[in-house]
Structure 1
Amino acid sequence: MSKRRSFLKSATALGAATLLHQTGWGNAPQSPIISRIKPKKLQLGDTIGLVAPGFAIKPEALYLAIETLHKMGFKTYHTERIKGNYGYFSDTDEERAKDVNEMFANPDIDAILCARGGYGCTRILDLLDYDIIQGNPKILIGFSDITALINAIYSRTGLVCFHGPVGTTLDDEYSQSYMKKVLMEPKEVLPIKNAILKDPKQYRSSEYYRYTITTGTAEGELVGGSLSLVVAMIGTPFEIDFTDKLVFLEDVEEAPYRMDRMLTQLTQIDSFLKAKGIIFGVCKGCDRKRTTDNFTLREVIMDRISPLGIPAVYGMSFGHVPQNFTLPIGIKAHFNASKKQLRLLEAAVS
């Protein structure tokens, strides 16, 4: 308990010191320079710990996630906390944070997969033991609400984390393929190819159209995730610094006016204007038909992003969609907006 109090004191002090360094609205907190840490690569037979740091997961969904991982050749482990229900959360903030901390501390766990997203990760960021995480580096992967977790951990510890499938979305050949390539087969250069859309519901949907917003090429470290979470972290000690970064964004079931509002807020952040590139995934459920009193998703994105003059593209294969490639937070990549291509320039695991 004393260790936890000590940790919370240091976290509070760090947060206060960080805020004092802010010189104005929209300046990302300046964290001390931390050495980057690449987690150990994943191997067949490894044990993957399942956590639910946000919403509760239904028993049948948990069972299917475990079954998928077993078919992929992994062992699984989870605590009883993942089965709980505390309102819409899987457990209390303290217990959800404890689950994450213990998974990192447990030497029998080789990697950590978030069973699902939802909401709740921002509530536990100041309860995580970043010293334990930094001292026991291992793969952490998830998306959606997990955006907060993976970006905060990278910022505070230097540990490369991964924006990729959660347990409930892993049963997809494309998603599994890129998860294996990034986490199990490290290469110095890895081209990431967009999924070939075979489902008419996808290739006929405007939300899956791939288009260049602003032409150009760029290189930088990858950061980002769910637009809603990226924006929610603005003004907090966990705000993302976008300077010289390749920023990837996606969201789900947000009407064009809500996308407009969030993108407008982002464009008022100094560091976002210094990003090297902007990469949108598929924003499923975010488009609407053009009417006299409405804009389409594409119109909103072009209006908000094109004037920045930063190489940008929409429609890459990640997001709340079946085909979800794995993006490593903190790893350098090359981006060609004109050709809609992304290439990792270094191995993400050791």
Structure 2
Amino acid sequence: MTRLFPKAWVGTMTVGTIAPASPAPNNFRQRYERGIQNLKALGLKVIEDRRVFAKNGHVAGTVGARVRHIHDLFQNPEVGMIISAIGGFNSNQLLRHIDYDLIQRNPKILVGYSDVTNLHMAITKQTNLVTFYGPAIMPQFGDFGGPIDFTLRNFKKAFQPIPIGSLPVSEVFTEELLPWGTHDSRPKQMQPNSGWIICHEGKSEGYSLVANLTTLMMTIATRWEPIWQDKVLFLEEEGQSTQITDRCLTHLENIGVFEKIKGIVFGRSYGYKVVDSKYPLKRILRRFGRRYKIPVIANVDFGHSDPVLTLPQLIHVKVDTAKQDVAFTEAAVVA
């Protein structure tokens, strides 16, 4: 597989921020500014661009303005990392207008999750650039006191020119959602983490594809649909239900994805709903794992959860449920 690697985070790096979908920076400026200050505390130099505060109805500015902002950051020679302020619902509006040749000529670290799945899928498909599914400015860096140590430690590790190795399991997590702007002036309450759930046993290896499941569905039958062959799918949701997950996975099955992939790793999610206690997520995931003889693991720390890992796209990964091990075996950046 031919891939394009961004440069590692070494010393002081200049960061640009984007709002490709939601206008939340406009709606919750104090939260956004706190996230910027927490980034600066890491020794990062942040380009403060007022374009992130744009608002055009339910999105963060016009399509043209959002695309130009992305282009400007990728072609800025001082910028080494681009981080999304937040996700949203409509970054797919940008995909037809992005200059992928420009991005390919100027590879940089790109970080985001949720609706930013659209950018991950389009950019990796069109340029082979390794991008990163990880924390955003407002949800994680904007937390009171900054990101949880687990999030911060694994964020830094992802951008070093060495393999990430085996994914750790956080000892604690939180499901507490503090309303922004009114009640987010204290740390969230944590609870013990029971660890990963092995839904179907197995051992395999492939290349990482990390996505929000319902957003991933938006790419199917477009030019940005992923190449599924030999992928280990890292999938996550927010506030969805067993019904929706089953529907999405069944659609992937119907278009032949499960004959091509090597495994599934499913993230823990805020507000996930089990519609019928006899059919929990584990049972649904086990059905697909058993049918296609692939390893399936759930309750992993990424996506709409807290704390979160930073996971690279297109990187070789090994899954071994007997050892409860998911290991990235090659570096995602170059020195």
* Shorter-normalised TM range: 0.7 to 0.9
Structure 1 segments unaligned to the other structure (5+ residues): 1-32
Number of the residue aligned with 2:225: 239
Number of the residue aligned with 1:300: 284
Normalising to structure 1: TM-score of the pair?
A: 0.84
Shift of 1:296: 2.9
Amino acid at match of 1:98: R
Number of the residue aligned with 1:112: 82
Structure 2 segments unaligned to the other structure (5+ residues): 142-146, 177-189
Number of the residue aligned with 2:15: 48
For 1:29-44, what aligned pairs fall within 5 Å after superposition? 35-44=2-11
Q: Residue 173 of structure 2 contacts residue 192 of structure 2 at CA under 8 Å; is this kept in 1?
A: no
2:249 counterpart SS class: helix
Distance 1:295 1:190, change over 3 A: closer
Shift of 1:158: 1.2
Q: 1:194 aligns with which of 155, 166, 169?
A: 169
Q: Residue 117 of structure 1 contacts residue 144 of structure 1 at CA under 8 Å; is this kept in 2?
A: yes
Q: Residue 203 of structure 1 contacts residue 209 of structure 1 at CA under 8 Å; is this kept in 2?
A: no
Say how many residue pairs are matched: 312
Cα offsets for 1:4-52 (capped at 9, x unmatched): xxxxxxxxxxxxxxxxxxxxxxxxxxxxx8x311100113321110001
Number of the residue aligned with 1:81: 51
Normalising to structure 2: TM-score of the pair?
A: 0.87
Cα offsets for 1:59-91 (capped at 9, x unmatched): 112101101101111111142221011111111
Aligned: 1:263 with 2:249: yes
Cα offsets for 1:200-238 (capped at 9, x unmatched): 977579xx7621122111111101310011112111111
2:10 counterpart SS class: coil
Number of the residue aligned with 2:155: 179
2:79 counterpart SS class: coil
Q: Residue 241 of structure 1 contacts residue 272 of structure 1 at CA under 8 Å; is this kept in 2?
A: no
Distance 1:230 1:340, change over 3 A: farther
Q: Residue 260 of structure 1 contacts residue 304 of structure 1 at CA under 8 Å; is this kept in 2?
A: no
Number of the residue aligned with 1:341: 325
Number of the residue aligned with 1:318: 302
Number of the residue aligned with 1:9: none
Distance 1:109 1:239 in 2: 28
Distance 1:258 1:270 in 2: 19
Distance 2:175 2:35 in 1: 26
Q: Residue 55 of structure 1 contacts residue 90 of structure 1 at CA under 8 Å; is this kept in 2?
A: yes
1:238 counterpart SS class: coil
Shift of 1:337: 2.5
Amino acid at match of 2:73: M
Shift of 1:305: 4.1
Number of the residue aligned with 2:97: 127
Distance 1:312 1:203, change over 3 A: farther
Q: Residue 215 of structure 1 contacts residue 312 of structure 1 at CA under 8 Å; is this kept in 2?
A: yes
Distance 1:287 1:268, change over 3 A: same
